Amino acid sequence: MDDICDSVDTVMEAKQQTEDIDTVLEKGGFRVKGWISNKPLRSPSQNEKMDTATMFQGSVEENVLGSTWNNQSDTLSFKVNFELINQITEAEQRQPEVKLTKRLLLSQVARIYDPVGFAAAFLIRAKIGMQVLWQTGVDWDEEPPPAIRYKWIELFKEMKELNKITFQRSLCCANATEPPMLCVFSDASQDAFGTCAYIRQKTNGNKYQVRLIAAKSRVAPLKQLSVPRLELQAAVLASRLAKAIEQESRLKFKSVAFH
């Protein structure tokens, strides 16, 4: 059985929700492995009496939507652990080169699961690289030309920097003075087009807080299109992303702005 991920406004709501889920599952003979929260839901004395579930205490990291969630800092981050990157680094010191075939490159790219789009800026470069491999006619177990191989090595090295990037899990700020605004940006080039959505909230002191909600990217089709036409496709992608966010989010946006 998979994980249950949810977010509520108060600790009392979270407590009630965990208790209700425990009760329902217990009737079917199921037991929750453990609850993880960014706020303590039960006191130590209550945890000792708990027989149906375990409340994890202290700092815990859990995979959520392809990212790693730290419940103490309440942030999302990446844990990129490419064996290929380490092999490339070691090979550069010893001189023997790692054989980078199209099959190996695709398997490395497929390891990154990013449905929200936090790593969209990196993944679109990998998708463009795969498209180039198809255009050059490289076989599955054949190495690409030196120039293309060099670009892949540099990309994999940069991907290690993803481990240093963190995002706030909560989209809302506690001191907001007005309803949030949804800001959606889109753009295109000859290689790709994409969109990203942010939540913008006004806070105390007439300041604004902005946080990334989601991002989407697509590789430009092999049949070359003009940049204005690709920008129209990016605009369509942006409108679909905004519609999905408005329909699925519990937040009520005062307005939506497209850029």
pLDDT in tens, 104-124: 888 888 877 888 888 888 889
Is pLDDT above 90 for 157? no
Tokens of 88: 């490339």
Average pLDDT over residues 165-175: 84
Confidence at 58, pLDDT banded by 50, 70, 90: low
More confident of the two residues 244 and 164: 244
Of all residues in the chain, what percent carry a pLDDT higher than 70?
Answer: 85
**Following DSSP, what letter does each residue of 76-131 receive, concatenated?**
EE-----HHHHHHHHHHHH-PPP---HHHHHHHHTT---SS-TTHHHHHHHHHHHH
Query: For residue 84, which of 151, 149, 157, 145 has the smallest C-alpha distance?
Result: 157
Looking at residue 86, its pLDDT comes to 65
Looking at residue 69, its pLDDT comes to 85
Is the Cβ–Cβ distance between 176 and 208 less than 8 Å?
A: no
Is pLDDT above 70 for 92? no
This prediction has a pTM of: 0.81
Domain annotation for the chain: domains and CATH numbers: 11-57 (no CATH), 83-166 (no CATH), 170-258 (3.10.20.370)
